Amino acid sequence: MAAADQTARPMIEIVDLHKSFGSHTVLSGINLKVPQGSTLVILGGSGSGKTVMMKHMIGLLKPDQGQVIIDGDDIVPYGAVQLEQLRKKFGMVFQAAALFDSMTVYQNVAFPVLEHRKELSEAKVRALVKEKLAVVGLSGIEERYPADLSGGMRKRVGLARAIMLEPKIVLYDEPTTGLDPITTDSVDQMILDAKRHLGVTSVVISHDIASAFKVADNVAFLSQGVIVEQGTPAQLRHSTNPALRAYLSTWFDLERRS
């Protein structure tokens, strides 16, 4: 995988981000840059604050302190109307794809444009759905239902839906959780293909170390509300940080045995 240009303008920049819920501190001073067109994987255990950080990126949460700069603008002061416009820059691929079971693939993928581009004709919407499904390597499945699809196909349909509004940023929430190794590999390839063919900036929340190291240009390891280590996969492999070494140790053992 070719390395992203780390001198590129940050598409996402987080500066001194703090967030607590009551007396419980979740984030305590996050600093992070995601260059345009790159893929960042946020690694960390359950409860480390990964999802809370992602919710700040899309404006679902406001920080107690700090800045969240998206495409050059600090979104923290944004009101509801500005946030609605901001979110059109994002596509979201949910953990279990989050497709509507009662809708066909066509209806699922078309959903964003039917909500936000009501001026488009049905013929144009159908053409867009066909185009986006082709981008993710699927064709001719528009009239099938999610129950008829494999796990990997559902993820790809989820990505097709996520890119319908031509987002600049795609967020992936635990994309390989619960998948078998073959399907996991296909989802990893999907993330790589989206970056290569669409030029999107990607942020992946994960606890899957092997997947993270395959798809990431950079990895940020989150522990106890702070990023304790960040860098390329190669740099994290050789980190001496005790928390990160402990987190990676089981995977290293499995890798050595394989």
- What CATH number is associated with residue 92? 3.40.50.300
Distance CA 175, CA 76 (A): 27
3-state secondary structure 111-146: HHHHHHCCCCCHHHHHHHHHHHHHHCCCCCCCCCCH
Is position 211 within any domain?
A: yes
Q: Per-residue confidence of the chain (258 residues) as pLDDT tens digits?
A: 444 455 667 999 999 999 999 999 999 999 999 999 999 999 988 888 899 999 999 999 999 999 999 999 999 999 999 999 999 899 988 876 788 899 999 999 999 888 888 788 889 999 999 999 988 888 899 999 999 998 888 888 988 999 898 899 999 988 887 778 888 888 888 889 888 888 899 999 988 888 999 999 999 999 889 999 999 999 998 888 888 888 888 665 555 545
Is position 48 within any domain?
A: yes
Greatest distance between any 2 Cα atoms in the chain? 57
A 10 A CB-CB count for 3 gives 10
Tokens of 54: 């992602």
Q: Please name the residues in contact with 257: beta carbons below 8 A apart, sequence gap of 6 or more.
A: none
A 10 A CB-CB count for 78 gives 17
Is position 245 within any domain?
A: yes
Domain membership of residue 76 as a residue range: 10-102+174-257
Distance CA 37, CA 128 (A): 23
Is position 157 within any domain?
A: no
Is position 24 within any domain?
A: yes
Distance CA 110, CA 143 (A): 12
Is position 112 within any domain?
A: no
Is position 134 within any domain?
A: no
A 10 A CB-CB count for 91 gives 26
Buried b (16+ CB within 10 A) or exposed e, 156-175: bbbbbbbbbbebbbbbbbbb
Distance of CA 87 to the CA centre of its chain: 14
Distance of CA 138 to the CA centre of its chain: 20
Count of the separate structural domains present in the chain: 1
Is position 251 within any domain?
A: yes
Supply the pTM of this predicted model: 0.86
